[in-house]
Amino acid sequence: MKPLNEFERYVIEEKGTERPFSGELYQHNAKGRYLCRKCGAPLYLSEHKFNAHCGWPAFDDEIFGAVTRIPDADGRRTEIVCSQCGGHLGHVFEGEGLTPKNLRHCVNSVSMVFEAIDDAEAQQPATEKCLETATLGGGCFWCSEAVFLSLAGVTQVTSGYAGGAAKDANYKAVCSGATGHAEVVQIVFDPTVISYAELLEVFFSSHDPTTLNRQGNDVGPQYRSVIFAHSDKQIETASSMIKALDEEGLFGAPIVTELTAFDGFYPAEDYHNDYFALHGEQPYCALVIKPKLDKVRERFSAKLK
Catalytic residue, from 85, 140, 143, 285: name it.
140
How far, in Å, CA of 147 to CA of 145, rounded? Answer: 5
Half-sphere exposure of 280 (CA within 13 A, CB side): 9
How far is the C-alpha of 66 from the C-alpha of 42, rounded, in Å? Answer: 7
Q: For 211-224, b where at least 16 C-beta lie within 10 A, e where not — what string?
A: bebbbeebebbbbb
- Asked if 140 is an active-site residue, the reply is yes
Burial classification of residue 93, based on how many CB atoms lie within 10 Å of its CB (0-12 exposed, 13-18 middle, 19 or more buried): middle
H or E element that contains 84: none
Helix, strand, or coil here: 130?
coil
For 145, the 3-state DSSP assignment is helix
Three-class SS of residue 202? helix
Residues acting as catalytic residues? 140
